[in-house]
């Protein structure tokens, strides 16, 4: 039997990059997957690629920063799949600038998606998990949330905030059958990163003792582990998936 047979997973930002790799991993492990993303084209493309007779997958266009949108789509997932067992809060954006140059809009956009979005999804999905007394919630933080990073005040603030919220929710929900954990990816070879200048990529590799960038699949594997029963006694943790990065 596959690891997530008869389990239902929501993956936010699930149509591209790390989210896409995560969607594919959970699907291949037998989960019914609700792909949440704002990109309708990529979401439907991935959904159509994966559809088969033995697994269920559905795309939902969701803006995680909009509470009502999240609420409506939680109900749609329940209607389609009957329950929610796993929530992967993977969606996130960057709007980088130094402190002096960052606009209020850049600050707020990142707060809305990376922090408020995680709150919205977790509050509304956990209410459904509480009814069943079971759930796995994994939040995407980042190594920059642990160590900081030049030119990313907004992003770092949200990723540090995610770690803090994870610790709170682990205490509030742990006794009710819900594990809440976070991952902190390091330098990952997404399409956005691979488009960076070669010298920047080289610098990232040099800071990583394994001398390579991580892959989206490396992060997906961490999500898979923390959502599995093998991780049933892990709660409130932040797992660094960074190749041993040197800060």
23 closest CA partner among 6, 42, 214: 42
The secondary structure element, H or E, covering residue 165 is: helix 153-173
Per-residue buried b or exposed e for 101-121, using 16+ beta carbons within 10 Å of the residue's own CB: ebeeebbebbbbbbbbbbbbb
Q: Which of 67, 134, 147, 155 is catalytic?
A: 155
Between 65-74, 88-97, 147-156, 197-206, the lowest mean confidence (pLDDT) is in: 197-206
Residue 91: which residues within 8 A CB-CB, separation 6 or more?
A: 12, 13, 19, 36, 37, 64, 113, 114, 117, 140
Contact predicate 117/91, CB 8 Å: yes
Residue range 109-121: mean pLDDT, rounded: 98
Residue 155 annotated in active site: yes
pTM for the model: 0.96
Please give the pLDDT value at position 51. 85
Domains and CATH numbers, the chain: 8-187+217-241 (3.40.50.720)
Query: Regarding beta strands 178-185 and 238-241, do their DSSP bridges make them parallel or antiparallel, or are they unpaired?
Result: parallel
Residue 59: which residues within 8 A CB-CB, separation 6 or more?
A: 15, 35, 37, 40, 43, 44, 46, 47
End-to-end CA distance of the chain: 41
Q: What are phi and psi of 34, to 5 degrees?
A: -100, 110
152 closest CA partner among 161, 162, 144: 144
Look at residue 168 and tell me whether its pLDDT is greater than 80. Answer: yes
Tens digits of per-residue pLDDT, 189-213? 887 777 777 888 888 889 899 999 9
* pLDDT interval class at 33 (50, 70, 90): very high
Contact predicate 35/60, CB 8 Å: yes
Residue range 172-201: mean pLDDT, rounded: 89
């Amino acid at each position: 039997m596959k690891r997530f047979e008869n389990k239902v997973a929501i993956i936010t930002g699930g149509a591209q990059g790390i989210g896409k790799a995560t969607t594919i991993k959970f699907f291949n492990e037998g989960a019914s997957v609700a792909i949440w993303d704002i990109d309708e084209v990529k979401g439907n493309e991935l959904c159509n690629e994966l559809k088969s007779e033995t697994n269920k997958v559905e795309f939902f266009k969701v803006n995680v920063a909009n509470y009502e949108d999240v609420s409506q789509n939680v109900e749609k997932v329940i209607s389609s799949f009957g329950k929610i067992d796993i929530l992967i809060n993977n969606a996130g954006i960057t709007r980088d600038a130094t402190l002096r140059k960052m606009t209020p809009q850049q600050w707020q956009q990142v707060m809305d998606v990376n922090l408020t979005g995680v709150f919205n999804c977790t509050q509304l999905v956990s209410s459904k998990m509480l009814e069943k007394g079971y759930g796995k919630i994994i939040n995407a933080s980042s190594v920059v949330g642990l160590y900081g990073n030049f030119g990313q005040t907004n992003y770092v603030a949200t990723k540090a905030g995610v770690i803090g919220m994870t610790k709170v929710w682990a205490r509030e929900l742990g006794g009710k059958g819900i594990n809440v954990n976070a991952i902190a990816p390091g330098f990952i070879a997404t399409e956005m990163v691979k488009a960076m200048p070669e010298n920047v990529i080289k610098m990232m590799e040099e800071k990583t003792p394994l001398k390579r960038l991580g892959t989206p699949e490396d992060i997906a594997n961490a999500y898979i582990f923390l959502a599995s029963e093998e991780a049933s006694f892990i709660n409130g943790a932040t797992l660094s998936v960074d190749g041993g990065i040197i800060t």
